[in-house]
Amino acid sequence: MPQNVVLQGPAPWGFRLSGGIDFNQPLIITRITPGSKASAANLSPGDVIVAIDGLSTENMTHNDAQERIKAAAHQLCLRIERKETKLWSPQVSEDGKAHPFKINLEAEPQDINYFEHRHNIRPKPFILPGRSSDPAPTAVPQSDVYRMLHANQEEPSQPRQSGSFKVLQNLVSEEGDGRPVGTRSVKAPVTKIPTGLPGAQKVPQCDKCGSGILGTVVKARDKYRHPECFVCSDCNLNLKQKGYFFVEGQLYCEAHARARMRPPEGYEAVTVYPKC
């Protein structure tokens, strides 16, 4: 249904047009500026402009419509057509008569007193329908059952021990070595060099320090020493890659070996090296 809308000037009016006879489309409002005069006049996008200031827009081009709107200085009268908006409502047929379906949107009343929002108030008991609301019988203060329950509450309960814990405790307490029950001394395993095993290789013993030699071995006259123990007995000079001398079963360097082997008067000491 056509409507007449009057916008009070001056411009700007706050709406945008599209269409015209040159576009083979009617003049339609495509945009409304929020807070403008067109918005205050309740114009909406999609409204079709039928007439501007009483002049029909049927044969107007887009530019003619714009010029006609600009010519309105103090007042702009528009005749528009707006599509009707239909509200949907379900229809229910009863006895051949159609009538709107009624929906009750009213909230159901609730028992406000049932929900307690106060503090330090005991909650109300929940009672199933069909059950008796009589309180359960309590024990008579002087009865045997009452005294038994009361005694169990007063006496502190001892911590219970499982059967496996008791067996373990008995095994530990049977040691009798004076240590507290439940504690045992644990020593780290010591790696021993196997000796006396059939087919096992015997570890050589160092002639100087007396310990077993694992790794590099220095041999001199069927005697074994560590490389760091292969030294002169007087000056501790390492004799490896050097000459060594045995004097009375001890290793010496050449200088200290000469000092210990003094020849008798009239004789001269001569060093004799073994033939390779």
Least Cα distance to 76 among 49, 100, 58, 101 occurs for: 49
What is residue 113's DSSP assignment? G
3-class DSSP assignment, residue 66: helix
Residues facing residue 18 across a β-bridge? 28
Residues 246-268 as b/e (b if ≥16 CB within 10 A, e otherwise) read eeeeebbbeebbeeeeeeeeeee
Token digits for 40?
């205050």
Identify whether the C-beta of residue 49 lies closer than 8 Å to the C-beta of residue 62.
no
Residue-level pLDDT, tens digit, the chain, 276 residues: 788 999 998 889 999 999 999 999 999 999 999 999 999 999 999 999 999 999 999 999 999 999 999 998 889 999 999 877 665 655 555 555 555 556 666 677 666 555 555 556 666 666 666 555 555 555 555 677 777 776 666 555 556 666 666 666 776 665 555 555 555 566 666 555 555 555 446 888 898 888 888 888 888 778 888 888 888 988 888 877 777 777 887 888 888 888 877 766 666 666 666 554
Give burial (CB, 10 Å; 0-12/13-18/19+) of 72: middle
Token digits for 263?
């020849």
Identify whether the C-beta of residue 193 lies closer than 8 Å to the C-beta of residue 213.
no
Phi, psi of 5 (to 5 degrees): -125, 130
What is the rounded CA–CA span in Å between residue 174 and residue 185? Answer: 14
Sheet strands (E) in 110-264: 218-220, 223-225, 245-247, 250-252
Please name each of the domains of the chain with its CATH number: 2-81 (2.30.42.10), 203-265 (2.10.110.10)
What is the rounded CA–CA span in Å between residue 45 and residue 29? Answer: 5
Q: What pLDDT was estimated at residue 97?
A: 56
Any idea which residue has 């909650």 for tokens?
A: 123
Identify whether the C-beta of residue 2 lies closer than 8 Å to the C-beta of residue 79.
yes
Give burial (CB, 10 Å; 0-12/13-18/19+) of 274: exposed
Question: How much is the pTM?
Answer: 0.33
